[in-house]
Amino acid sequence: MRTWGWTLLIAVGLTASLAAATSAQPSATRVRHRATPAEPVVVELFTAQGCAGCPEANARIEAVAGEPGVIALTYAVDYWDYLGWADTFARPEFAQRQRAYRRPLRIRNVSTPQVVIDGRRQAPANVEALQAAIDEEAARRVFPPEVEFRETGDRVGVGSGRAPTGGAEVIAVVYTPGPQTVEIGGGDNRGQKVRHMNVVRSVRVLGPWTGRPVLYALPELSSPDQAVAVLVQARDDRRILTAAVLEAR
C-alpha cells in the first residue's frame, strides 16, 4: 500500500458511492506553525531557471511547502529559454497552464515568477503575506467533494458535490517532492545554483467532474520518487475546489 499525502478525512459513504483523480540558493526559512486546515490549499509557482527574479520566489514557495494543508507545486516554463539557457524542467504545457489563468485573474500577459493560490488569486511578494493569503483561501472552502485514493495506488475517486457553472475537471499533476538544485550555465542566472521545490513533471486531465461520484485511473509514475497531486478545478474561472496528494512510495 502506498502512503498518503496530507491526511484525508474520507467518509465511509464515499467508498460505497464510488463502488456503484544566485549563487547557491539558501535554504528557505520556515514560517510559523499552523493548524492543519480542513481542506488543502494549492500554491502553484510558475518559474524559470533563466529568470533573474525567480530564485527569490522559489525560496518563498519552499518556505510554505512543508506547512500543514499546503500543496506546493513548481512549474518551469520555457519562454525565457531564448536568453541563453534552456530550462531543464520546462515543458510547453506548463506555460499553457499558466496562460489559462490570464482571463480569470484579469491579467494582460503572463510572466515569471508568478504564484497562484487555489486558482483564485496571485500571491503577494513576501512569505508573511503569502502565508496570510493561504489562510484566507483555506477558509473559502465550503463542502468540497471528497477525494480518495485506492489502496492499489492506480485509481482515485472524487465524490459528490456542487459542481461550478461550466463544470469542472479532475487533473493529475505528477511531481518530484522535495528540493532540487540546478547549476545554471547561461543566461541571466549564469553561474548560479538555483533551487526548486516540488518540481512538476507532467500534467494530465483525467476527465470531467459534474458533481456525481466518479472513479479515475491515475497516470503511471515513471519513478518511485514521484508523487501525484489530484486537483478538482473549475473549467471557467479556474478555481480549485479541492485537492489531495498521493505521495511517493
Summarize pLDDT for 69-108 with one digit per residue, the tens.
999 999 999 999 999 999 999 999 999 999 999 999 999 9
Instruction: Read off the amino acid at residue 7.
Output: T
Q: 150 exposed, middle or buried (CB, 10 Å; 0-12, 13-18, 19+)?
A: middle
Q: What percent of the chain has pLDDT over 70?
A: 84
**Cell numbers describing residue 49:** 531557471
CA 234 to chain centre: 15
- Give the pLDDT confidence of 185-205 residue by residue, as tens digits: 998 999 999 999 999 999 999
Nearest alpha carbon to residue 134 among 58, 35, 27: 35
Q: Are 170 and 33 in contact (CB under 8 A)?
A: no
Gyration radius from the chain CA atoms: 18
Cell numbers placing 11: 467518509
pLDDT by position in tens, the chain (length 249):
333 333 333 333 444 444 433 333 334 434 333 444 468 999 999 999 999 999 999 999 999 999 999 999 999 999 999 999 999 999 999 999 999 999 999 999 999 999 999 999 998 768 888 989 999 998 887 788 999 999 998 999 999 999 999 999 999 999 999 999 999 999 899 999 999 999 999 999 999 999 999 999 999 988 899 999 999 999 999 999 999 999 876
CA dist., res. 170 & res. 234, Å (int) = 9
Cα–Cα distance, 121 to 135 (Å, whole number): 13
Specify the 3-state DSSP secondary structure of 170: strand
> For position 9, what pLDDT does the model report?
35
Residue 123 and residue 116 in contact, taking contact as beta carbons nearer than 8 Å: yes
Domain ranges across the chain: 12-21+35-246
Contact indicator for 229, 243 with CB cutoff of 8 Å: yes
CA 77, CA 91: separation in Å to the nearest integer?
A: 6
